[in-house]
Structure 1
Amino acid sequence: MEHHHHSHSGAGLAEAAQVAMERAGEQWTPMRAAVFGALASFEKPASAYDIAEKVSQDQGRRVAANSVYRILDLFVGSNLARRVESANAYVANDHPDCVHDCIFLICDECGQATHMDDDSLSKNVRAAAKKAGFAPVRPVIEVHGRCEDCAGD
């Protein structure tokens, strides 16, 4: 079962992120906006260090990775970003107004991470965990392999 939602991009994505953050009772500060903008600018999952470097370059001053990690944790908690666990990296959530479990398809050759939704799969993972006596909080489903472009080479 596919999950349908409205994806945002560009200025619309930043605006949707700000609305979602404020709806969660958090402020949309200039630094949070800068970190989100940097995160959204990456084509592939980015580490906190990649994001700190980009924000530092954009602002002409050093921004510590620790500050970026705190903001990214807030973004993940507010559904503005997703963490690609196996890569210790992050991607901007292009539909922050929609909360659900997601699946990442990660190319081991080029590093691209494609986000997909399959509510029936995540529902089954949650049900299996409950059947085993485990209380699932956040299923993490990542599939490693080769993307269509790399598989075609």
Structure 2
Amino acid sequence: MRSHDHQVHEGESLRKAARDRLQAKGEQWTDMRSAVFDALSSFDRPASAYDIAEAVSKSQDRRVAANSVYRILDLFVGANLARRVESANAYIANQHPDCLHDCIFLICDNCGQAVHIDDDKLSGGIRDAAANAGFAARRPVIEVRGTCGDCSDSK
């Protein structure tokens, strides 16, 4: 993968970019998918399917099952609209759904914040090491646990 600049979306721009990306993949942007994406993107840290189901349930004034949310989140991950934080079994909205990068997360053990960074050189090295071992890395995920700058500064 070569390095490049990409547009980071927020708010309505993120919602539109996600909708456009999903539709470009041949999927529909339904009311439920929209509600799940809105809930997911409203969290300031990784959210579980249960967190998202609760948020959607409150916004729609009806119970939404976590199983339904899991199916939508799987679709979102496959379409590059969301990233899965493996160690937390949680998700974050991808702020640049038009660009496909391997996942590199910096996860704070204190506050739970997860920052997604792109470093094609690092992830390319992982892919190269896997290839040299005879392994085809389809979806490398790198998670670095530690303390974020905000939590470090407060100590």
Work out whether the TM-score is over 0.5. yes
2:59 match: 58
1:44 match: 45
Deviations 1:107-139 (A, max 9, x none): 000000011110000000000001001111000
1:128 match: 129
Amino-acid identity (%): 68
Q: 1:135 to 1:104 in 2, by over 3 A?
A: same
**Normalization by structure 2: what TM-score?**
0.96
Deviations 1:32-76 (A, max 9, x none): 000000000000000000000000000000000000000000000
- What's the offset of the Cα at 1:3? 4.3
- What's the offset of the Cα at 1:100? 1.2
Question: 5+ residue gaps in structure 1?
Answer: none
CA contact 1:32–1:71 (8 Å) conserved in 2: yes
1:72-83 equivalences in 2 (<5 Å): 72-83=73-84
Amino acid in the other structure paired with 1:146: T
Rounded Cα–Cα distance in structure 2 between residues aligned with 1:102 and 1:51? 21
Rounded Cα–Cα distance in structure 1 between residues aligned with 2:137 and 2:12? 35
2:25 match: 24
3-state secondary structure, aligned to 2:21: helix
**Normalization by structure 1: what TM-score?**
0.98
- What's the offset of the Cα at 1:4? 2.0
Displaced runs of 4 or more, over 3 A: none
3-state secondary structure, aligned to 1:110: coil
Deviations 1:8-41 (A, max 9, x none): 1101110000000000000000000000000000
